[in-house]
């Protein structure tokens, strides 16, 4: 699923710089919906990271080790990101790139809070979503602790809380679009409250996996129907129902998009979480190609924009030529090579360091570890108990 998400993100960024997302043909208008890949990542983060907390709450087990959680998150995200950052500044060719305060903002992933936003349209365009991810990482243990205390043993209560959180996120964004000017709306776009709906839906999936009910059973039995719903939703998003032919979205279009996008993303990701043993799902998402892209997806996320901008700088090629397939092939190939190197030389060693640092001396005697697909090995609270 991460492989699908990152390919969509790369495609929409290449489509933007080559100008094809502005074409009127239905196929290119559909390409403009590739930004749905970011909500895919957010839902997956909510699912994978909340799952150990959900299991502890439902089983009445001890609360997971928060220190180890923060250590693993930091070592997973920061080393590869900091390695990319100088290249991102170099290929951005902006006067602000030499400002020490700007560097500090990007090093700490606090740049979306700067109203200047000079980085939009540069090699560092995509980093706003990493900042949102980190904000969720910091908030999750506190949120999970409250849910652990108040909803222990009750899947229904946990699902009710995640539903309220998702609804509050959509209501916040919709209200801002109607009540505030566009500058406030644009500022909100790159912050956690607007995107929290996706993380909340991922947390709900984690609860449904740990305590399957009728809804989980229906999704597990109908992955094809879920993906059909997601595809139909994407078609709707590509129409004037949510996407204006010119100018900014109207408040009504914005609200429809704010409601449709999480539902489409949920319908797309849910079968991967709830029907992972389904043969159709495994063939479609578990094949070597998509699994390989999923494995290096973080590196692709970090490097595809610097590579894209460097390609135009080195070749002197004008933008908006409509040469989507040529640029997409070059960007994906070069970024994939850099991503494999990042994964093997930076990401995996630091992930191993994070796991070893918090491992008990005789972990095999105390824990049976479950490998969450695409995630980390986490202690199974039931075995520990």
Q: Count the residues in the chain.
A: 385
Is 197 exposed, middle or buried (CB count within 10 Å of its CB: 0-12, 13-18, 19+)? buried
Measure the CA–CA gap between 247 and 244, rounded to whole angstroms. Answer: 7
Percent of the chain with pLDDT strictly greater than 70 = 93
Total number of domains constituting the chain: 1
Under the banding of pLDDT at 50, 70 and 90, the label for residue 197 is: very high
Residue 370 has pLDDT above 60, yes or no: no
**Structural tokens at position 273:** 């979480």
Nearest to 381 by CA among 153, 70, 64, 150: 64
Lowest mean pLDDT among 161-175, 231-245, 364-378: 364-378
- Taking 90 as the threshold, does the pLDDT of residue 72 lie above it? yes
Range from 142-146, 286-290, 329-333 carrying the lowest mean pLDDT: 286-290
The model's pLDDT over 148-173, given as tens digits with 9 standing for 90+, comes to 999 888 999 999 999 999 999 999 99
CA-to-CA dists, residue 95 to 99, 179, 296, angstroms: 8, 35, 32
Instruction: Assess contact for 48 and 69: CB atoms under 8 A.
Output: no
Inform me whether the pLDDT recorded for 379 exceeds 60: no
Q: How many CB atoms lie within 10 A of CB 88?
A: 23
Output the pLDDT for position 52: 96
At residue 168, the pLDDT reads 97
378 pLDDT above the threshold of 80: no
Give the 3-state secondary structure percentages of the chain, helix then strand then coil, rounded to 5. Answer: 75, 0, 20
Dist CA 40 CA 19 (whole Å): 24
pLDDT level of residue 358 (50, 70, 90 thresholds):
low
**CA 212 – CA 208 distance, rounded (Å):** 5
Q: Which residue has the higher pLDDT, 228 or 244?
A: 228
Q: What is the mean pLDDT of the chain?
A: 89
Q: Model confidence at 376, in pLDDT bands (50, 70, 90)?
A: very low
State the residue for tokens 């009728």.
Answer: 214
pTM above 0.75, yes or no: yes
20: phi then psi, degrees, rounded to nearest 5: -75, -20
**How confident is residue 60, by pLDDT bands cut at 50, 70 and 90?**
confident
Mean pLDDT, rounded, for 70-83:
96
Structural domain range at position 245: 2-384
Q: Specify whether the CB–CB gap between 300 and 284 falls below 8 A.
A: no
pLDDT at position 57, please? 94
Q: Is 194 helix (H, G, I), strand (E, B) or coil?
A: helix
Q: Which of 129, 132, 126 is nearest to 305 (CA)?
A: 126
- Mean local confidence (pLDDT), 36-44: 97
Grade residue 198 by pLDDT with cuts at 50, 70 and 90.
very high
The predicted-structure confidence for 2-12, as pLDDT tens digits, reads as follows 999 999 999 99
What is the predicted pLDDT for the residue at 360? 55
For residues 311-322, give the mean pLDDT.
Answer: 93
- The answer, yes or no, to whether residue 385 has pLDDT greater than 80, is no
Which pLDDT belongs to residue 248?
A: 81
The answer, yes or no, to whether residue 372 has pLDDT greater than 60, is no
CB 335 within 8 A of CB 307: yes
Give the per-residue pLDDT at 94: 74
What SS3 class is residue 367? coil
Lowest-confidence segment of 19-28, 50-59, 240-249, 325-334 by average pLDDT: 240-249
């Amino acid at each position: 699923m991460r492989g699908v998400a990152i390919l969509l993100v790369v495609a929409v960024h290449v489509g933007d710089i080559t100008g094809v997302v502005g074409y009127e043909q239905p196929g290119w208008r559909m390409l403009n919906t590739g930004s749905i890949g970011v909500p895919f990542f957010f839902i997956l983060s909510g699912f994978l990271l909340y799952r150990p907390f959900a299991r502890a709450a439902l089983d009445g087990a001890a609360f997971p080790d928060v220190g180890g959680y923060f250590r693993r998150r930091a070592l997973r995200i920061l080393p590869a990101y900091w390695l990319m950052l100088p290249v991102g500044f170099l290929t951005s060719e902006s006067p602000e790139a030499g400002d020490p305060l700007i560097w500090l903002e990007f090093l700490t992933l606090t740049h979306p809070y700067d109203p200047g936003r000079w980085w939009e349209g540069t090699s560092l365009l995509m980093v706003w979503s990493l900042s949102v991810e980190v904000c969720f990482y910091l908030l999750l243990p506190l949120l999970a602790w409250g849910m652990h205390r108040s909803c222990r043993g009750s899947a229904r209560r946990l699902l009710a809380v995640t539903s309220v959180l998702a609804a509050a996120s959509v209501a916040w964004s919709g209200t801002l679009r109607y009540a505030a000017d566009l500058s406030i709306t644009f500022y909100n776009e790159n912050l956690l409250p607007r995107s929290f709906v996706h993380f909340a839906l991922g947390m709900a999936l984690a609860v449904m996996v740990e305590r399957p009910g009728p809804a989980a059973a229906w999704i597990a039995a109908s992955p094809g129907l879920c993906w059909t719903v997601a595809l139909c939703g994407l078609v709707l998003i590509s129409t004037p129902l949510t996407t204006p032919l010119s100018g900014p979205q109207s408040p009504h279009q914005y609200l429809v998009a704010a409601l449709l996008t999480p539902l489409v993303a949920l319908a797309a990701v849910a079968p991967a979480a709830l029907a992972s043993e389904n043969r159709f799902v495994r063939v479609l998402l578990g094949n070597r190609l998509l699994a390989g892209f999923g494995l290096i997806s973080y590196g692709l996320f970090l490097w595809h924009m610097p590579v894209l901008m460097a390609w135009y700088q080195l070749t002197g090629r004008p933008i908006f030529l409509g040469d989507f397939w040529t640029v997409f092939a070059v960007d994906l190939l070069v970024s994939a090579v850099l991503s494999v190197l990042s994964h093997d030389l930076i990401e995996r060693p630091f992930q191993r360091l994070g796991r070893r640092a918090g491992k008990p001396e005789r972990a095999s005697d105390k824990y049976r570890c479950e490998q969450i697909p695409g995630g980390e090995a986490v202690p199974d609270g039931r075995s520990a108990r």
